[in-house]
Amino acid sequence: MEINLISDTVTKPTPGMLAAMMKAPVGDDVFKNDPSVNALEERVADFFGMESALYFPSGTMTNQTAIKLHTQPGDQLICDKYAHVYNYEGGGVSFNSSVSCKLVDGHRGMMTASQVEASINPPDFYHSPLTSLVCIENTTNKGGGACWEFTELEKIKEVCATNGLKYHLDGARLWNALVKKEEDAKKYGALFDSISVCLSKGLGCPVGSVLVGNKTLIDSALRIRKVLGGGMRQSGFLAAAGIYALDNHIGRLKEDHQKADEIGQVLAQQPYTKKVEPVETNIIIFELDESQISEKDFLDRLAKKQISIIGMGQGKLRMVTHLDYTDEMHAVLLKTLQEIS
Ligand X SMILES: *Cc1c(COP(=O)(O)O)cnc(C)c1O
**Binding footprint of ligand X on the chain (CB under 6 A):** 58-60, 63, 84, 137, 141, 170, 172, 198, 200, 209
Nearer to ligand X, 57 or 236 (CB): 57
Nearer to ligand X, 176 or 273 (CB): 176
Q: Nearest approach, Cβ of 167 to ligand X (angstroms)?
A: 16
Nearer to ligand X, 238 or 266 (CB): 238
In angstroms, rounded to a whole number, what is the distance separating the alpha carbons of residues 291 and 23? Answer: 56
Q: Nearest approach, Cβ of 198 to ligand X (angstroms)?
A: 5
User: Mapping DSSP to helix (H, G, I), strand (E, B) and coil, where does residue 298 land?
Assistant: helix
Nearer to ligand X, 170 or 193 (CB): 170
Q: Nearest approach, Cβ of 109 to ligand X (angstroms)?
A: 9
Q: How far is CA 304 from the centre of its chain?
A: 30
In angstroms, rounded to a whole number, what is the distance separating the alpha carbons of residues 218 and 194? Answer: 9
Q: Nearest approach, Cβ of 171 to ligand X (angstroms)?
A: 8
Nearer to ligand X, 75 or 89 (CB): 89
Q: Is the peptide bond before 139 cis (omega within 30 degrees of 0)?
A: yes
Q: Nearest approach, Cβ of 129 to ligand X (angstroms)?
A: 23
Q: Nearest approach, Cβ of 141 to ligand X (angstroms)?
A: 4
DSSP structure class, residue 148: -
Output the residue with the shortest Cβ distance to ligand X: 59
Q: Which long-range contacts (CB under 8 A, 24 or more apart) does 35-42 make?
A: 35/236, 36/235, 36/236, 36/237, 36/239, 36/240, 36/243, 37/235, 37/236, 37/239, 39/239, 39/243, 40/210, 40/239, 40/240, 40/242, 40/243, 41/210
In angstroms, rounded to a whole number, what is the distance separating the alpha carbons of residues 58 and 33? Answer: 20
- β-pairing, 194-198 vs 209-213, is antiparallel
Nearer to ligand X, 8 or 41 (CB): 8
